[in-house]
Structure 1
Amino acid sequence: MKDDAQTALIRAILRLLKPLARVMLHHGMAYGSFAELARKAFVDESLDQLQRSGKRGSISSVAAMTGLTRKEASRLATLDVDSGLESDRRYNRAVRVITAWTVDPRFLDDKGEPAVLAIQGTNGFEALVKDYSGDVPVAAMLSALEDSGTVASTNGGVQLLDRAYLPTQTPAASLDILGSDVAELITTIDHNLTHPKSERVFQRKVSNGSVSEAALGAFRQLSTQKSQELLEEYHAWLVEHEIASETHDADENTEKHRYVSVGIYYYDDTLHEDLTP
């Protein structure tokens, strides 16, 4: 049984690594750089596991868990690699702003659609950003949304062009999504693999291997529309259950805040066929 699990794990990792290798090759990352990051990931995760189990995170223990030498484990443990937390924060705040624009009645028109917002005012863009982006400056948020093609500034104010924020005009920000969203999906799968059924979380997908190629365009449009509607419903619910930012972990008596996300993705087997080497 153990050998079967190891074989399945090897197959799964290879399938996971192939599209990752595609991304790395496309962006000019050599194998040596990836191998260095892989070794560091093993060291960092070993230290995290030791800490969670209440054990002392010694370099000797890390070396034993990973198979690395103590010298190499020590070097990697202190290797400074930018975690991208600031980029993650900007991305998450931008998503909050756009989603709030689609559900908060203050920023909707008479038809219930996102209104063109004046920069200032009670129901203006400035109020939207201040209420939903935390401490991100209004000008910085406007610039990020304009660069991504999500909004446009007009004589009448700021107009929402796309109900979903993807920083497609900024390659670095787009690649940050690779690190955050894929990591969340893998963490969910790992949780479900290692916990009893009663403690598992929702992890499903719908697929069909016999769909007419001529129907792909229509289904892409349908899945985008339905997925966006569901995510906006989730966002509205989550906003209702937020803890005020000023009370976050203020003292031991305050309610603990937690990060939550639900992701939906679309895939068909034409997506990588037209990629250039």
Structure 2
Amino acid sequence: MDHPRNNAPPSADRLHAPIARLLRPLVRLFIRSGMTFPGLVDLLRELYVNVAEYDFALPDKEQTDSRVSLLTGIHRKEVRRLRGAGAPISATPAAVSRASRIIARWLAAPEFTDSEGRPLALARAADQGCAEPSFEALVASVTRDVRPRAVLDEWLDRKLVEIDADGRIVLAESAFVPQGGSDQQLYYFGRNLHDHVAAAVANVLGEGPRFLERAVHYDGLSDGLAESLEKRSREIAVAALQEANREAHAACAQDPGGRHRWIMGVYIYRDEDASAEDAPQIEARGDKAS
């Protein structure tokens, strides 16, 4: 039986524990990257003012310094100084957008995949009058703003593709996992975590139908089993993402277009639980989906 949902947001004191857990890996990144606490405070202050100004504006009423100060707890002088900076910009870097669109098409379009949906090895360019799929045709089907040779050189340098013994271009596994610390990885780091957290926050606040946001997790595992489960879950996840990409790619061909966006994401994680040795094994183990 479905029970009515309480749409009142949780109190601030109830958020302390989950937010502390959520922020811990981020704080680890901040410290390792040299982002100091004062620097983070400055960023949060600007973000608090920006979110209050744009996300909490009242219909048909001008947002005031006093109201932003009331919502955020930031002094009006600081609010006045920080307001007017504009809404946060989340533009996709051109190279990232171009690469992701080309790879998505390579993984989804029937002319660039085999009978099992795997990306084909592509010739650099098709012979005149030949219908054979080529890397040149792939790039041209997505953008004509850059030469296919320039894309190939860039991708070879980034190890997104390889050249096989027959001189064909093969999509490398690294194309699915951007290099650590690269601009591409940092872009998706912000985008993917934003969307995951946005879905979870919408569920907590009860804003409309719940988004699917679940995880399967086991504790108290041996290192070997944890490694095996990670490997198998990668296979399952990649297959699911590729299938979703193929269906979305095909559906977009018939869609008139609009203002909406959709994302399906997957994450897999394992580590050593420092508290596992002290926990009773009967409680430490268990299959859960949350």
TM-score range, shorter chain: 0.7 to 0.9
Aligned partner of 2:96 in structure 1 is: 91
Partner-residue secondary structure (3-state), 1:152: strand
Cα deviation, 1:106-156, whole Å, max 9, x if unaligned, reads: 113476532221233462213222334685664554345334422124562
Could you tell me which runs of 5 or more consecutive residues in structure 2 were left unpaired when the two chains were aligned: 1-5, 275-290
- Does 2:108 align with 1:114? no
1:185 pairs, out of 188, 196, 220, with 196
Largest Rg, 1 or 2: 2
- Checking the alignment, whether the CA contact within 8 Å between 1:243 and 1:257 is kept in structure 2 is no
Residue 223 of structure 1, CA deviation: 1.1
Identity %: 24
CA distance in 2, matches of 1:255, 1:103: 19
CA distance in 1, matches of 2:189, 2:60: 31
Cα deviation, 1:181-232, whole Å, max 9, x if unaligned, reads: 1111111011111226x71121111001132211222222211111111001
CA distance in 2, matches of 1:201, 1:169: 29
Cα deviation, 1:15-49, whole Å, max 9, x if unaligned, reads: 11111111111111111111111111111111222
Aligned partner of 1:36 in structure 2 is: 42
Of stretches 205-214 and 1-10 in structure 1, the one that deviates more from structure 2 is: 1-10
Residue 82 of structure 1, CA deviation: 8.5
Amino acid at match of 2:13: T
Where in structure 2 are the equivalents of 1:211-226 lying within 5 Å? Answer: 211-226=221-236
Residue 62 of structure 1, CA deviation: 1.5
The TM-score normalised by the length of structure 2 is: 0.76
Q: 1:72 to 1:137 in 2, by over 3 A?
A: farther
- Does 2:56 align with 1:50? yes
More helix by share: 1
Could you tell me which runs of 5 or more consecutive residues in structure 1 were left unpaired when the two chains were aligned: 248-253, 273-277
Amino acid at match of 2:104: T
- Checking the alignment, whether the CA contact within 8 Å between 1:192 and 1:201 is kept in structure 2 is yes
Residue 86 of structure 1, CA deviation: 3.3
Partner-residue secondary structure (3-state), 1:262: coil
Aligned partner of 2:284 in structure 1 is: none
CA distance in 2, matches of 1:99, 1:183: 21
- Does 2:159 align with 1:146? no
Q: 1:25 to 1:163 in 2, by over 3 A?
A: closer
Residue 78 of structure 1, CA deviation: 4.2
- Does 2:215 align with 1:202? no
Aligned partner of 1:250 in structure 2 is: none
- Checking the alignment, whether the CA contact within 8 Å between 1:98 and 1:163 is kept in structure 2 is no
- Checking the alignment, whether the CA contact within 8 Å between 1:94 and 1:133 is kept in structure 2 is no
- Checking the alignment, whether the CA contact within 8 Å between 2:108 and 2:249 is kept in structure 1 is no
- Does 2:78 align with 1:67? no
Where in structure 2 are the equivalents of 1:222-237 lying within 5 Å? Answer: 222-237=232-247
Higher RCO (C-alpha under 8 Å, 6+ residues apart): 2
Q: 1:25 to 1:57 in 2, by over 3 A?
A: same
Of stretches 108-117 and 208-217 in structure 1, the one that deviates more from structure 2 is: 108-117
